[in-house]
Amino acid sequence: MEFHIDRNVFLEGVQKTLGIVERKSIVPILNNILIRTEEGRIKIVATNREIGLISRYDAQINIPGDITISALKLFEMIKETQDDTLQFIKNEQHQVTMKSGRAIYRISGLPADLYPQVLEVDEIPLYKVSGADLANLVRKTSFAASTDEMRANLTGVFFETEASGEDGPPRMKMVATDGHRLSSALGPVGSAGGLVLEKGIVVPRKGMEEIRKIAEAEEAVWIGVDHGMFVMKTDNLTIKVSLIDADYPDYRRVIPKNKGVLAIFSRDVLLHALRRMGVVSNENYNDVVIELSDGRMALSSNNPDVGEANDEIAVSYNGGDLTNTYNVRYVIEAIKAVDEEEVSFEINEGMKPGVIMGVGNDDYLSIVMPLKLKE
């Protein structure tokens, strides 16, 4: 096996696999990616058995063949080379030699036939959507997904389509929640490009993040569902993510209908103030007391182990004075997902959830349940 390839193309191709292959698996081959020559190009395959990635890059093939090799080591090697092209050779003993100018790397690989299979996607209907739209929805929701493996259905991002108005073209919608907070984002009208997911699918958070990274850089991507996998294709690459086979809770039920006290803030001012509180707050609950009174918002955080923090922001709000306690990390993450300059934070009394939105944008919504501080 021997080929020549553009250094930057190869570097980017290998980099895309780093989030997928495992770093320190006890099964060594799962730390590897598979490289196989095709006509005038190479194919790179990466998988952790939940996410599969197949990508193709132009290369000058001299001798066909295949090999698997540590993704991380290969990436680090390519990154430190300086020449424009790389020569990649594999011998009979599965040893890889990579040359860049006078620099020579030698590294052992493992035979390709031991690598877990990642099947090419069958002829299934795929729908063209904007890469930026898709990436945006993931960015605005995935942070709220649970990391608790005991609640498998909440560890993913719920993805469905919603008709816009009466029989309008469907648009994409994503929702994520860990049971304490929830984020929901809608794409622009027609963003689903004809895809209809009536019942919705649950895509693992990690897989969604990989999809976001790839979609971000693409103008258009093609998406679809195939055999329990969410599939996304670009011109040279296919990524498949195994869906979580579990029912998603009825999230519409928890979006509050009655309004609390609506306060409008400058996004950055509020973020900075919250971060100041976060420095001292308790690391398990991150509790911060938010108090609305006399046309200002007072923030305070008190942690016997560390100390306390206090701050005030000017704010316009409708309604009476109010105090509640929130996990500051949840509030910060919800506000970070807002693109608008102004944030609306609807604060409720007692155990009713707070609602965070961007001013002038109804498509993004984040709900945060308060904390109960014992008297």
Q: Which residues are near another protein by CB under 8 A?
A: 148, 150-151, 177, 179-182, 249, 254, 284-285, 287, 325, 327, 350-351, 353, 367, 369-374
Cβ closest to another protein, residue 250 vs residue 294: 250
Dump the DSSP string for 107-144: EE-B-GGGSPP-PPP-S---EEEEHHHHHHHHHHHGGG
Task: Find, among 259, 13, 189, the residue nearest to 3 by Cα.
Answer: 13
Task: Find, among 246, 52, 256, the residue nearest to 158 by Cα.
Answer: 246
Minimal distance, residue 328 CB to another protein, in Å? 12
- Phi and psi at 82, nearest 5°, equal -120, -25
Minimal distance, residue 180 CB to another protein, in Å? 5
Minimal distance, residue 325 CB to another protein, in Å? 7
Minimal distance, residue 353 CB to another protein, in Å? 7
Cβ closest to another protein, residue 32 vs residue 286: 286
Question: Tokens 């300086």 appear where?
Answer: 82
Minimal distance, residue 264 CB to another protein, in Å? 24
What SS3 state is found at 126? coil
Cβ closest to another protein, residue 109 vs residue 354: 354
Cβ closest to another protein, residue 294 vs residue 375: 375
Minimal distance, residue 283 CB to another protein, in Å? 12
H helix intervals, 178-305: 205-216, 267-280
Residues making up the chain, counted from first to last: 375
> In which element (H, E) is residue 355 found?
strand 354-358
Minimal distance, residue 274 CB to another protein, in Å? 17
Q: HSE (CB half, 13 Å, CA atoms) of 319?
A: 17
Cβ closest to another protein, residue 195 vs residue 288: 288
Q: Which pair of structure tokens corresponds to residue 146?
A: 């649970």
Distance between CA atoms of residues 178 and 141, nearest Å: 11
Residues 6+ apart with CB under 8 A from 55: 13, 16, 17, 43, 44, 236, 237, 238
Cβ closest to another protein, residue 244 vs residue 371: 371
Q: Which pair of structure tokens corresponds to residue 295?
A: 């046309």
Cβ closest to another protein, residue 10 vs residue 248: 248
